[in-house]
Amino acid sequence: MTSGRSDISDDRTMFETAKPLAGRVALITGFAGHIGRATARLLAARGARIIGVDHPAVDAAAVSEGIDVTLLSADVCEEDQVRGYVEAAMQVSGQIDIFFNNAGIEGAQASIPDYPTADFKRIFAVNVLGVFLGLKYVLPVMQRQRSGSIINTASIAGLVGAANMSGYIMSKHAVLGLSRTAALEAAPFGVRVNSVHPGFVDSRMLTDIVHRLGAADTSSFADAVPLKRLATVDEVARAVAFLASDDSSYMTGHAMVVDGGVTVG
C-alpha cells in the first residue's frame, strides 16, 4: 500500500476541481502500465479512491509515486488470484464503483504460420480469460450494489485486422464481444459495461510492437493517423473517466474509439 498526493497537473478540464467521482472506488488492473497509471491519476484527481492491481512480478510501488493508491498483486489469468483481488478490494473499501479491466499484453508479431502457439495461448490467457475473470468476480459485487461502471480495455485491434498481429487482433475482438454480452447481462441491475478502443498510443507497448514489426520508430504510425500524431495516455484516460462517470449514464455496450480517426476511412 502506498500513499501520497494525487498529481492533477495534467488534468486541465472543468472536472479538475469539481471532483465528480468523490466517494467512488475505482479498481484498476494493469495499474502499473502506462494507460493504467494515467487513468489512475485522472480518476484520483476527479475524486475517486484508487485500488490498483498488477502482476506479482511487477514492482507497482516503484511507479506509483504521486498517486494515492492501494496496491494489490494478482495474475489476472489465475482465477483464485482474481477472486482474491476482488475480495481484498472489498475488504479495503467495501464497494467497487468503477472497474477498469485493463491489464493486457501485445503478444508476438508474426504471420499466422509463424505465430508461436504458446504465444497464442498466453495472449488469450491474459487479454481474454483475464478480462472475463475480472467480470466474473466484479459483476456480482456491482449487481448487489445495483450500480457500477465497468470499462474493458480493447483496442482498435478489436475493430479491424492487422497483418502479423493475429493473436492480439483476435483477443481484442473477443473483448468487444464480451463487453457487449456483459452489458446486456448487467443492465437489469443498473450496471453499465463499455469498452475503450485506443489506437496508436505513445507508450512502451506501441514502441515495442513497432520495433518488432521492423520499423525504426513510431513516425510511420503517426503519419497514418488522420490527426497526424499518436494519442497520449491522458487522452485515453479521459475517455475512460467519461465512461466511469455519470456523464455517460445512458451508455452501455458502447465501443468508445480513441484513435485520431484511424478506423474511420
Ligand X SMILES: NC(=O)c1ccc[n+]([C@@H]2O[C@H](COP(=O)([O-])OP(=O)(O)OC[C@H]3O[C@@H](n4cnc5c(N)ncnc54)[C@H](O)[C@@H]3O)[C@@H](O)[C@H]2O)c1
Q: Which positions are annotated as active-site residues?
A: 168
* Residue 49, C-alpha cell as written in the block: 479512491
State yes or no: residue 173 binds ligand X (CB under 6 A).
no
Q: Which residues 69-88 are close enough to bind ligand X by CB under 6 A?
A: 75-77
The grid cell for 54 is: 498488477
The residue from 198, 218, 243, 254 that contacts ligand X (CB under 6 A) is: 198
Three-class SS state of 226: coil
Residue with Cβ nearer ligand X (70 or 203)? 203
Site track for ligand X across 123-162, x = CB under 6 A: ---x---x----------------------x-x-------
DSSP 197: E
Instruction: Indicate whether 119 belongs to the interface with ligand X (CB under 6 A).
Output: no
Q: Is residue 218 within 8 Å of 177, Cβ to Cβ?
A: no
CB atoms within 10 A of CB 4: 11
**What backbone phi and psi angles, to 5 degrees, belong to 202?**
-65, 100
103 interacts with ligand X by CB under 6 A: yes
Please state the closest distance from residue 196 (CB atom) to ligand X, in A. Answer: 8
# residues near ligand X by CB under 6 A? 27
Residue 202 to residue 196: CA distance in whole angstroms: 16
Instruction: Please say which residue, 14 or 216, places its beta carbon nearer to ligand X.
Output: 216
Does the footprint of ligand X cover residue 102 (CB under 6 A)? yes
Question: 261 with 226: CB under 8 angstroms?
Answer: yes
Residue closer to ligand X (CB basis): 130 or 167: 130
Per CB under 6 A, the list member of 55, 180, 229, 238 interacting with ligand X is: 55
Termini Cα distance of the chain: 45
